[in-house]
Amino acid sequence: MKNISAFALGLALAFPATATFAQDDTLVIGRSASTNALDPGFLREAATIVDNIFDTMVMRDEDMKLVPGLATGWTAVDDTTWEFTLREGVTFHNGEPFDAEAVKFSLDRVLNPDNKAPTISYIRTISSVEVVDPMTVRIVTAKPDPLLPTRMSRYPAYIVPPKYIAEHGREHFANNPVGTGAYTFVDFVPDERVTLEANPDYWRGQPDIKTVIWRPIPDATARITSLITGEVGLIEDVPVDLVPLLQQTPDADLVQVENGGLTIYLGLRMDKAPLDNVKVRQALNHAIDRVSITENLLGGLATPKGTQVGAADFGYLDVPVPEFDPELSKQLLAEAGFEDGFEITLQSSFRYMKNAEVAQTIAQGFEDIGLDVNQETMEWSVYTQTVPFEGPIYMLGWGSTQTLDADAAIYAIMKSGEPYSGARIDALDALLDQSRSTVDPEARAAILQEIQEVAAEQVPLVTLYQEDKLMGKAPNVNFDGRADARIPVFSITMD
């Protein structure tokens, strides 16, 4: 650790802080991964950038409470109908008016099965979107859905301009987005930058920061160096090894949100043998030393988990972390008829904390119980294009921080047939559907907890740990991080 930190510091000193590209009214943000596209309805990556270009009808404040966004209010008309009153006087960046037709268009394009939107699971409960009048829209769900307002607070529920997309097409829109948000799109150069400018007519007021530039800097040391030298003002994904450097240098600050990151897990393609055998899945579950990984590899900046659901989520159940027991794993394999093991492929990327090293450690644990593991490690831009993942075992991160409800943590990755799910468990499917149609909070919480109990037993996927959200910032940038992992530049100021 000391050698890496010293090397990074040496690089920083080679570039004096006076030689900076940043300006007083410009914030440059260094990202660990390149952006592939900017259409919020069809994302295969985090919504970090589009969150600043587009708005949703419902928003979350700094306390994570639901507050009005493009909708000034909403009410439940009956068990399956929600009515939203829209904010008047809002226009898209191209001058196109925001209205109920835009809301209907934005949701319908994701719900249309022909479009094969990878984000559809979040709003699949919707059966129709009805325009009541220009500033009123009704959303009808197939069954009672108490989470409907929450679903309207995150992607894919960002509102997009119907006329602009009709005129230019979806591909053009993905590279030249137009929204109603705090920042307008300037340019998008793949693998180089996304540039946004403050929207002077934003309905919440003009942002303090005039220009924001999102720069992909995949190399962690280069990302840290760019921060220390003043080339960037904020960086995502500080690697574990370089945390001490940020804590020691006066030229940068560490931003840490405990359990504010993604929950990392191994997806399992249950449609491929031998992962259709529950004893095999249980054997994998007990072959991983989560405590050692989080303490020794991740420096205590992640928490071992027994459930995908976050502790702050509605419906959370404190499921014990699976015990590391290689002998039990061997016994389970023998009971499943695989006492001599089998060959299998484990896919991973470089997206998460020490992703490659963690995958290698897990692969070694699988080898130790008699498996022959083929490891495939891909760049993130390639990895995301393999959805649904070929696997049969693939490492992925998932989060519910934007919703703070167990549904977001589990439905999309445990329900049969969902784009990101490899699970195939009938009892789990029934419970997941039941949870989405149960209105009574107490009854719904009980169902969500039962889902977590079934998952702990049946292992539709292997939950590993939840990362802390680690970022770095310049001392003059005022940003403490958020529990929902968003970076709303509108709320950031610079001294």
Residue 175 inside a domain? The answer is no
Q: Are residues 232 and 138 in the same domain?
A: no
| Pair (229, 322) in one structural domain | no
Band of pLDDT at residue 1, cut at 50, 70 and 90: very low
Which of 198 and 17 is assigned the larger pLDDT?
198
Query: What are the C-alpha distances in Å from 266 to residues 139, 174, 413, 464, 476?
Result: 35, 30, 11, 7, 39
Handedness of CA 174, 177, 183, 186 (dihedral sign): positive
Instruction: Tell me the average pLDDT across 354-379.
Output: 96
Which of residues 414 and 11 earns the better pLDDT score? Answer: 414
Q: What share of the chain is helix, strand, coil (3-state, %, to 5)?
A: 35, 25, 45
Query: What stretches of 218-275 adopt beta strand conformation (E)?
Result: 234-235, 253-257, 263-268
Supply the DSSP symbol for 458.
H
Residue 21 has pLDDT above 70, yes or no: no
Q: Is 472 helix (H, G, I), strand (E, B) or coil?
A: strand
Angle at which helices 406-414 and 441-458 cross, to 10°: 40
| Beta bridge partners of residue 398, listed in sequence order | 263
DSSP three-state, residue 494? strand
Residue 129, domain extent: 58-166
Domain annotation covers residue 45: no
Mean pLDDT of 350-372: 95
Cβ burial of 16 (10 Å; 0-12, 13-18, 19+) is exposed
Please tell me whether residue 455 adopts helix, strand or coil conformation: helix
**Last-in-domain residue among 142, 166, 190:** 166
Tell me which DSSP letter residue 405 carries: B
* Distance between CA atoms of residues 425 and 454, nearest Å: 10
Query: Over pLDDT 70: what percentage of the chain?
Result: 95
Q: Note whether 444 and 302 are same-domain residues.
A: yes
Averaged pLDDT, 369-388: 87
Pairing of strands 372-378, 253-257: unpaired
- My answer on whether 120 and 150 are in the same domain is yes
Q: Is residue 414 part of a domain?
A: yes
DSSP-assigned letter for residue 295:
I
**Closest residue by Cα to residue 145 from 172, 165, 127:** 127
- Are residues 162 and 197 located together in one domain of the fold? no
Q: Is the pLDDT of residue 11 over 50?
A: no
Q: Which sign, positive or negative, has the C-alpha torsion 46, 52, 55, 61?
A: positive
Residue pair 50/40 in contact (Cβ under 8 Å)? The answer is yes
Say yes or no to pLDDT of 383 above 90: no
Backbone angles phi, psi at 141, to 5 degrees: -105, 155
Tokens of 57: 């009808």
| DSSP single-letter state for residue 199 | -
What is the mean predicted confidence (pLDDT) over 458-465? 98
Q: Which residue has the higher pLDDT, 378 or 453?
A: 453
pLDDT digits (tens, 9 = 90+) for 87-129: 999 999 999 999 999 999 999 999 999 999 988 988 999 999 9
On whether residue 336 sits in a domain, the answer given is: yes
SS3 175: helix
Query: Looking only at Cα atoms, what is the longest distance across the chain?
Result: 68
**Rounded mean pLDDT, 75-96:** 97
Q: How far apart are CA 417 and CA 440, in angstroms?
A: 27
Domain-located, residue 47: no
Same domain? 487 vs 463: no
**In the predicted structure, residue 304 carries a pLDDT above the cut 80:** yes
pLDDT at 3: 38
Number of domains observed in the structure of the chain: 3
pLDDT of residue 399: 84
Q: What is the pLDDT of residue 402?
A: 65
Q: Over the stretch 385-419, which tens digit does the pLDDT of each residue have? A: 876 678 899 999 998 776 788 998 999 999 999 98
List all residues 6 or more positions away from 171 whose beta carbon is below 8 Å from its beta carbon: none
Does residue 271 lie in a domain region? yes
267 and 380 share one domain? yes
Is residue 369 domain-shared with residue 487, that is, in the same domain? no
**pLDDT value of residue 387:** 64
Assess whether 134 and 275 both reside in one domain: no
Q: Is the pLDDT of residue 8 over 60?
A: no
First to last CA, the chain: 32
CATH number at residue 142: 3.90.76.10
Residue 223 DSSP code: H
**Encoded tokens for 391:** 């696997």
pLDDT band at 312 (very low <50, low <70, confident <90, very high): confident
Edge-first strand order for the sheet with 302-304 is 302-304, 461-467, 263-268, 393-398, 343-349, 372-378
**Res 388: pLDDT:** 65
Of residues 109 and 311, more confidence is placed in: 109
Asked, for residue 44, whether it belongs to a domain, the answer is no
Residue 9 has pLDDT above 70, yes or no: no
Mean of the pLDDT values across residues 175-204? 97
Helices within 76-126 (DSSP H only): 100-111
Whether residue 314 sits in one domain with residue 233: no
Residues 428 and 476 in one domain: no
In a domain, 41, yes or no: no
Domain CATH for 248: 3.40.190.10
CATH number of the domain residue 318 falls in: 3.10.105.10
Statement to judge: residues 385 and 450 lie in one domain:
yes
Residue listed under structure tokens 């002998």:
327
